């Protein structure tokens, strides 16, 4: 291949990719790729490389999630078939993490002395909670933020990420994670045989752009406006008010998609703020 065509993609009769050949990366570069060396062909797909180039070409400086980490953990690993259900503490699982927020309408509840209820797995306001495995979990980029106090712990398939709010706004991190710039990074790094996973080191290596603090704060403000409709939807769902639920969740989804699009435009330098 010539230097002008270092990546070639072959498709089948239905236009599906079947072979990708690229010679613009040396063996040494592949071995040095962080957080771990990457020989997986999917990792080197042009779309993921292009996304990284857009991030590095941005006018904003780049940091990594690990630069702001205060605490990163997952829930207790509990084996055996014993039933620990009861009253006292909510157990948050991947299915409770929805696009616009936490779905607390059917959250499992456990006894306070349950082995699930450990100190490290407890969430607090402004904790980010994200799925750590599975095509339907991390594969769907399930992540949200705890917006109000709740007595809950996560299970072993959910990570808790607490950030230093003096350095970065976690609401901005959440929305950035949902933009194509964050989502494609997650898609690129998840891996595993049978069940895909994302490790702590991989989370720490996710790149994020340092947009101005006032813009980050405006993202938080706009997110909280959206959350009011999410909360109304959850309340309607609890009361079996299907029409009210559908109306409010559609508003919340539209508002969040709009906020994500505006955040992407800020990152690309196409607008100064999200408001």
Assess whether 187 and 93 both reside in one domain.
yes
Examine the domain organization and report whether 69 and 152 are in the same domain.
Answer: yes
Are 40 and 132 contained in the same domain? no
Q: Which residues contact 93 (CB under 8 A, 6 or more apart)?
A: 108, 154, 155, 157, 158
For the segment 202-257, what is each residue's pLDDT rounded down to a tens digit? 999 999 999 999 999 999 999 999 999 999 999 999 999 999 999 999 999 999 99
| Model pLDDT for residues 113-157, shown as the tens digit of each residue | 999 999 999 999 999 999 998 888 888 899 999 999 999 999 999
209, 227, 257 - which closes a domain: 209
Report yes or no: 222 and 275 within 8 Å, Cβ to Cβ. Answer: yes
Assigned token pair, 78: 């509990």
Q: Which helix (H) or strand (E) holds 230?
A: helix 213-238
What residue numbers bound the domain in which 200 lies? 64-209
Q: 145-188 pLDDT, tens per residue? A: 999 999 999 999 999 999 999 999 999 999 999 999 999 999 98
Percent of the chain with pLDDT over 70: 89
Q: Report the greatest alpha carbon distance in the chain.
A: 66
Residue 130 falls inside a structural domain: yes
Q: Show the tokens assigned to 86.
A: 């009861």
The verdict on 181 and 195 lying in the same domain is yes
Domain-embedded: residue 273: no
Q: How many domains are there within the chain? A: 2
Cis peptide before 35 (omega within 30 of 0): yes
Are residues 83 and 54 part of one domain? no
Tokens (6 digits) for 66: 């690990």
Are 81 and 174 part of one and the same domain?
yes
CA distance 73 to 185: 20
- Angle at 85 (CA atoms; ends 81, 91), nearest 5 degrees: 100
**Position 80 in a domain:** yes
């Amino acid at each position: 291949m010539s230097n002008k065509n270092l990546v070639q993609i072959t498709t089948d009769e239905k236009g599906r990719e079947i072979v990708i050949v690229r010679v613009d990366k040396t063996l040494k570069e592949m071995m040095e790729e962080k957080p771990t060396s990457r020989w997986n062909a999917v990792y080197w797909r042009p779309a993921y490389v292009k996304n990284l180039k857009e991030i590095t070409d941005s006018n904003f400086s780049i940091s990594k999630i690990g630069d702001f980490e205060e605490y990163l953990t997952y829930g207790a690993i509990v084996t055996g078939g014993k039933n620990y259900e009861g009253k006292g503490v909510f157990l948050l699982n991947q299915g409770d993490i929805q696009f616009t927020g936490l779905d607390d309408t059917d959250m499992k509840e456990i006894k306070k002395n349950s082995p699930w209820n450990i100190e490290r797995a407890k969430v607090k306001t402004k904790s980010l909670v994200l799925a750590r495995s599975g095509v339907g979990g991390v594969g769907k980029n399930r992540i949200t933020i705890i917006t109000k106090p709740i007595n809950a712990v996560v299970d072993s398939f959910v990570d808790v990420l607490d950030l230093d709010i003096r350095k970065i706004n976690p609401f901005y991190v959440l929305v950035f994670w949902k933009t194509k710039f964050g989502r494609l990074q997650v898609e690129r790094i998840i891996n595993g045989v049978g069940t895909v996973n994302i490790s702590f080191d991989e989370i720490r290596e996710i790149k994020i752009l340092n947009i101005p603090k006032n813009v980050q704060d405006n993202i938080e403000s706009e997110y909280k406006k959206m959350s009011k409709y999410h909360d109304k939807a959850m309340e309607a769902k609890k009361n079996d008010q299907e029409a009210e639920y559908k109306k409010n969740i559609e508003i919340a989804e539209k508002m969040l998609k709009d906020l994500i699009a505006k955040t992407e435009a800020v990152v690309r330098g196409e607008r100064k703020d999200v408001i």
